[in-house]
Structure 1
Amino acid sequence: MESEILYVSSAPRVVLGLRDPLAAVMALLRPRAVVPAPLHAAGPWGVRFAPFPHVKLGVVVTGQCWLRLDGLEPILLNEGDFYLLGHPPQYMLSSSLEEVEARPAATLPRNTSGRGFRIGTEADEDSYTCSVDFTFDGGDSAMLLDALPRVVLVRAGDPRGPLFMNLASLLVSEIESLDVGNPLVLEHLAQIIFVHMLRAHAENNAQPSGWIAALAEDGVGAALRAIHAEVGRRWTLAELAEISQMSRSVFSAAFKAKVGVPPLTYLIKWRMTLARDGLRNGDLSISELAAATGYESESAFSTAFRREVGSSPRHYRNAVRSARMREPQQGTPA
């Protein structure tokens, strides 16, 4: 049986074997969870977060607060609500919509226990939030970040609410814990919640665009799953349309509307994404990588790679290796 894992630390050849598109993208990007300290706040308060090209996952453990992102209407978050921010611009959490002096998140004082940040006194606490930042390995994070809306919400009263409440309890317990193995548990738990948030986004009919949302469909989603299951197959538009149970013209239009590019263009882009990862992190020869991604010859693969990336596979691999050799070694002054 082929692996269906969420995360792998090496082995681009494992990514090539993943049937599920979401699992394949997550394995390719190798997400790392960075767990910021939880925020306890009371009274009029506001915290401003700088923009960054990553993903933030958060939950309101107790109380409520307002989430304000530049360019979007404010969102009231209540106890038990989860939010996911994809490549967020500057944003703010606050106690109300009234004007308050928002503190930069990087300047918040830690509470007396040394775990978490506190605004106001413990006796007056009216809001408690926990959040996790995700960073990604390699240069292909845009494939995920560009597919996410600015905000994904799962309310406590949503059908998935009870599941998320259980996950929130585990997350808060681990964030507040000093037990052995705590970083490892937090890493995997955060990734589990991340995937459940992406599932919630895929099932949200109010946000139907993007390849993640398309995965939940029987038509375009079936074609996406087929492409990822057999990335090395020489797919034709007719075969993918048949899998989607549509005519070629209807399928092609539907796929482009949902995913943003035509079906065969998506196939080529995904192959080249895997190829770049294989050249950066793998040990397959260029001819082996060409065969694994569906090309009859190294020459055909090199032509497609140069067209998509702008350099030959060999030059790309050599450039990556040279750049890594120039990087300061751990523990060595830069």
Structure 2
Amino acid sequence: MQSPVDPLSDVLASLNVRAGSLSGLEAWGSWALRFGVHEHIKIGAVLDGSCWLGADGAEPVRLRTGDCFLLAARESFTVSGDLDTPYRSAEELYRTSDSRIVRIGETHGTADQERTLIVGGSVDFLDATVALLLDGLPPVVAIRGGTPPAKAIQPLLGVFLDEVSAIRMGTSVMSGRLTEILFIQALRAVVAGVSEQDGTALPGWLGALGDPRIGGALLLMHQQTGRPWTVATLGAQVGMSRASFAARFKELVGLPPLVYLQRWRILAAGRELRHSERTVASVATEWGYSSESAFSTAFKRVTGISPARYRSAPLATLTATPDGWPATPFRVPAAVDERAGSSDA
């Protein structure tokens, strides 16, 4: 029996993810590090002790043993034992280290010097067209050790330490898998609202998943992508009028309902084209288009290239540019008909 589709799983399955190897930081006494601007998402856990984690433009967050974190900001960021110690360059420290566990401060410490041990990795999105759906993540997400998402990975924290402590066969694969698990748990925490927030709703697609009605509509769109949806029928399915649903959906997701649906259809169809030998016509039919011609027109309108070119294009041409947008433009259509089925939206 096929598992039911939920939007988060659907999007995660579509992400071309490259997870970096795990590394560790062991610190004693007073210490503070500043890391430069980065293009990927940082993910990690505090195995022992405590620290402050901050990103430019965001208040530092206190992390303690058992807490996990996700750092989505692409700005420079800081990790420190306190907020008064001057920062030193992390790049310099890591460059001169010959171990996967980088050490700073007195290695043996004293009774009044806390030991902090952090492990972490990175996640890069090779397909920015899907990664854009994750816009709106807070700069820093703290996943507290006592919450369900953190508890789910507590048994793995020892494995994290083992992987950064020594090089073994399969280490690169294991590190990548562990990093992906941390990333998924962080997204779950964001959607569930268990991470620390300032009381305002999380913007963007992830925040919309937590809204009972709009989240329900997103679920329907992902479970029945090829259905000839209209704004009115989607609204009715979640108990809202057409106008109220359209306004609330755009407010939370940032796109009108049928523009979002078209975007997702094209992304899903593109994934099918790149990972199967199916004809363009059969893919078009599955995703709700009445003809190959209509599908090709919609596909090019969104991605900037034809389905055939998309299927054979090198992945490098579909990855993110420095400003976060795909090298192949992922366009928002100027207008979409109210019907999302035979109208070929």
TM-score w.r.t. length of structure 1 = 0.82
AA in 2 matched with 1:271: R
Is 2:112 aligned against 1:126? no
Instruction: State the aligned residue count.
Output: 309
> Please, which of 165, 171, 195 is the counterpart of residue 176 of structure 1?
165
Tell me by how many angstroms 1:252 deviates.
Answer: 1.4
Q: Which residue of 2 aligns with 1:117?
A: 102
Is 2:67 aligned against 1:73? no
Moved more, 101-110 or 193-202: 101-110
Question: Partners of 1:157 and 1:317 in 2: how far apart?
Answer: 45
2:120–2:179 contact (8 Å) kept in structure 1: no
2:53–2:77 contact (8 Å) kept in structure 1: yes
Question: Partners of 1:271 and 1:202 in 2: how far apart?
Answer: 23
Is 2:239 aligned against 1:245? yes
Q: Which residue of 2 aligns with 1:305?
A: 299
Tell me by how many angstroms 1:3 deviates.
Answer: 4.8
Question: Partners of 1:35 and 1:261 in 2: how far apart?
Answer: 35
AA in 1 matched with 2:250: K
Pairing 1:43-122 to 2, within 5 Å after superposition: 43-105=29-91, 107-108=93-94, 114-122=99-107
1:65–1:95 contact (8 Å) kept in structure 2: yes
1:109–1:118 contact (8 Å) kept in structure 2: no
Tell me the alpha carbon deviations over residues 195-228 of structure 1, each in whole angstroms, 9 at most, x when there is no partner.
2211110011744332223223331111111111
1:203–1:213 contact (8 Å) kept in structure 2: no
1:34–1:134 contact (8 Å) kept in structure 2: yes
Pairing 1:92-241 to 2, within 5 Å after superposition: 92-105=78-91, 107-108=93-94, 114-124=99-109, 126-158=115-147, 160-176=149-165, 178=167, 180-204=169-193, 206=199, 207-241=201-235
AA in 2 matched with 1:65: C
Flag structure 1 segments of 5+ consecutive residues without an equivalent: 5-18, 325-334
Is 2:21 aligned against 1:2? no
Question: Partners of 1:185 and 1:221 in 2: how far apart?
Answer: 33
Secondary structure in structure 1 of the residue aligned to 2:47 = strand
2:26–2:104 contact (8 Å) kept in structure 1: yes
AA in 2 matched with 1:94: S
Cα gap change, 1:141 to 1:265, in 2 (>3 Å): closer
Tell me by how many angstroms 1:137 deviates.
Answer: 3.1
Moved more, 20-29 or 214-223: 214-223
Question: Partners of 1:318 and 1:133 in 2: how far apart?
Answer: 28
Is 2:22 aligned against 1:36? yes
Tell me by how many angstroms 1:322 deviates.
Answer: 11
Tell me by how many angstroms 1:269 deviates.
Answer: 0.8
Is 2:11 aligned against 1:25? yes
Question: Partners of 1:164 and 1:77 in 2: how far apart?
Answer: 16
Tell me by how many angstroms 1:189 deviates.
Answer: 3.0
Tell me by how many angstroms 1:54 deviates.
Answer: 2.0
Question: Partners of 1:312 and 1:30 in 2: how far apart?
Answer: 20
Moved more, 118-127 or 97-106: 97-106
Cα gap change, 1:71 to 1:181, in 2 (>3 Å): same
Cα gap change, 1:144 to 1:237, in 2 (>3 Å): closer
Tell me the alpha carbon deviations over residues 30-68 of structure 1, each in whole angstroms, 9 at most, x when there is no partner.
323212320011233222222223211111111111112
- Let me know the Cα RMSD of the aligned residues: 2.7
Secondary structure in structure 2 of the residue aligned to 1:59 = strand
1:219–1:243 contact (8 Å) kept in structure 2: no
Cα gap change, 1:87 to 1:145, in 2 (>3 Å): farther
Tell me the alpha carbon deviations over residues 296-321 of structure 1, each in whole angstroms, 9 at most, x when there is no partner.
10111112122222333334445548
Question: Partners of 2:220 and 2:292 in 1: how far apart?
Answer: 24
Flag structure 2 segments of 5+ consecutive residues without an equivalent: 319-345
